[in-house]
Every structure is written in structure tokens, then in C-alpha cells.
Homo-oligomer: A and B are copies of this chain.
């Protein structure tokens, strides 16, 4: 595969999120000036790191290349840099049709995990980390174009549950900031070790929605991405995943939904309210959504939702009881969207979910029950973008 220059120069990142000077060698490595990230026409990505005193630089990309069985490991093999006489290490990340989209990068200098200041950064793995976007024509629906742009809002609110000011991210579509209409709201939960920014930085939902709306392919709605991993106290044990379910649901229902409906022009009936998530967030959304049919008429699950043996749940998991009464599910919810890619290590759960829901007869009972499996070449972030796009085309249609 060869990428044309025009495509490689597409505006994948917001320009202002990148370094102003892409040649940071100049200045702090006086003898050389080097470009820190470069896309080659074959799709390889060259990354250069100046570390004259270091012996070894390696980069590990997250969400690896699938093996012969289609299994996609959590990370690729390390790519070691070749050092030149100026002290610049050059790492070439090999391209494959299976490597595209948003990839987290772990950068190690002499064994120490650091962030390289001249690559893009976003929150992930419970911290700020480097990531890149490996361009892909099939991901072009999520890039930046000259279309009307919605607003991406960082919004603090007080939580009665954590006792602190918490933050959510909100997308409002073009027009919202000026007009006075009310809109449906989709509440989104992120994956494990991500945070409320990840739907925007990695899944690019603002760009996907801007592009869909420009083509008239979805109805306008508000998206609220909350933090599903509230922290209590300061020590390691408390700032952990212990609170992924009970506290998330409590914050969402007691604090966030009332805040949004008091402060934004949100439609407030359940048919205009949805809950969704990806990966761990899909499980949380499933639990919360099935427990609260009075609140949510729409549910969106990217990746498996029902079975997950590693998942601790403080409030219990309501899906088993719910599936015993599929006709109630069909009454309670208008739209249930599930999607995944075979690349995920949880794909067996997804297939099992499919079986359980089929046995319960949801396909026949619900027009708005949608399942899709994405092309097996896509890494998880690609799959989640595709799932989000396809979901957005369908949700909140009268």
C-alpha cells in the first residue's frame, strides 16, 4: 500500500496540539536538527529521539498486530532505535493494514518509561502518554475537514459522591451554542485506564459527528463523556479500579445527569437519553442501563458487555435477570447497539453475548437491536470509531 502525499498531509491532528517546531534537535542538540515524526509513503512511521548519552531507545506500540489466529495482543514487539553520531535514535514503526488508527506509544530511554516532548500526547494507561495516528483511508471519516465544527467542552461539576469537583467532556453540535433548542443526550463511559477525554482524543467523536452532521447522516445530539474511575483519597489503593461501578453509577445518576439537565438544553425524557461505553465502559453502561430503564431508553455497547470474569461489580450485574424477560427489554429500550472487532481479546465474550441475546429472542422482539462485527484488520480504536459512527447514524431518530 502506498499513501499519496495529499492524504498524508490531511489534518489528522489539531495543529495547535503539536509542537510549533518539529525540529527540536535544533537548540538542544546543537549539531543537528531532526524531524521527530515522519509519515513515509508506505505508511511506516519514523520517530526520532535525541538522547546522546543513552545506550538504548525503544518504542512499544499498544494494541498489537494480530497473530495467525486473529488474536490481537495488548502490545507490539518493541522497536529499537538506531543511534547516529549526533546522538539521535531513529525508530521505524512498521506499517501494516492492521496497525492503523490511534496507537499509544511507550517510549523507553535506557529502560525508563518517559514521554517524548515532540510527539502528540493524550491521557491513557492512567497517565499522560505519547500516541500517534497512523493514517488510513478507512479512518478518514474521523479526520478534520472544513465543515461546521461543534464545541468540545470541558465542564466541571460538583459531585456529592466524591465530595469534589469532577470533570466531564461534552460535545455540542454546530448551532447549539447560538440557538435555543433542546437536544437528546448520550452519556458515554470510557475504557479501563482511560479518562473522560479519551472519546475525544483517541476516538475523535467530535470529528466523526462534525463530518456526519455536515452530510446530514445523523441527527444532532449532545454527548457527555464522564469519568468512570472516580478517585477517593490519595493513596494507591484508593486511586484504583475499586470504584469502577458503584461510584460511577452514583455520580452519573445523583450528580451528572441533574447537572447536565439543569445547565444544558437537554431533552429530559428517557427516549432522548442514552448510555453507552467502550470496553470496561461498555460493561458499566450495560449494568447501569439495565438497572435503570426509567432513565435510559437507548444503550450503546462497543465491545463485549455481559460476560467478563475479571470484572468486579459492587452492585451486581443485572443482565441475567433482564434477559429472562426479553419482552420487557423490548418495551424498556428503543435502541440497543453492540459492535466489536475480532481483533479484541474479549471477542469470545462478544460472541457469547450474541448467542445469549439471540436465544432470548431480542432480534425478533426489537427493531432497534443492532449488532455489527467490524473488519478483522482493525485495531480496537479503529473498531470503536467505526462502531461510534454507525451508532450515531441510528440513535435518537424518531
Contact = CB atoms under 8 A, between A and B. Distances in A.
Interface of A: 11, 14-17, 19-24, 26, 28, 33, 50-55, 109-118, 121, 123, 126-129, 144-146, 149, 151-158, 164-167, 170, 172, 174-175, 177-178, 180, 193, 195-197, 210, 227, 229, 231, 234-236, 239-240, 262-265
Contacts of A146: 158, 165
Nearest to A36: B127
Nearest to A55: B53
B129 A20 contact: no
A165 B180 contact: no
B21 A126 contact: yes
Most B C-beta atoms less than 10 A away, residue of A19, A128, A145, A180: A128
Given A14-B156, A16-B167, A28 B113 contact: yes
Contacts of A172: 177
Nearest to A26: B236
Nearest to A176: B177
A153 B151 contact: yes
A210 to B, nearest CB: 8
Nearest to A210: B156
A166 B15 CA distance: 7
B145 A21 contact: no
Secondary structure call for the A interface: loop
22 contacts: A14-B156, A16-B195, A19-B127, A23-B235, A23-B236, A26-B236, A53-B112, A109-B109, A109-B114, A114-B114, A114-B117, A115-B115, A115-B116, A121-B128, A146-B165, A149-B156, A151-B153, A151-B170, A153-B177, A174-B263, A178-B263, A178-B264
A234 B5 CA distance: 13
A175 B264 CA distance: 8
A180 to B, nearest CB: 4
B149 A151 contact: no
B262 A178 contact: yes
Given A156-B149, A240-B21, A167 B14 contact: yes
Contacts of A149: 155-157, 165
B265 A177 contact: yes
A233 to B, nearest CB: 10
Contact of A19 (B126, B175, B262): B126
Nearest to A207: B156
A22 B234 CA distance: 8
A195 B21 CA distance: 13
Contacts of A54: 110, 112
B129 A117 contact: yes
Contacts of A158: 146
A112 B16 contact: no
Given A121-B128, A196-B16, A264 B155 contact: no
A229 B20 contact: yes
B236 A33 contact: yes
Contacts of A118: 127
Contacts of A227: 16
Nearest to A152: B154
A110 B166 CA distance: 37
A182 B299 CA distance: 36
A151 B113 CA distance: 34
A114 B111 contact: no
Given A114-B114, A151-B170, A263-B177, A164 B19 contact: no
A194 to B, nearest CB: 10
A80 to B, nearest CB: 15
B117 A117 contact: no
A121 B53 CA distance: 25
A236 B22 contact: yes
Given A114-B114, A129-B117, A165 B151 contact: no
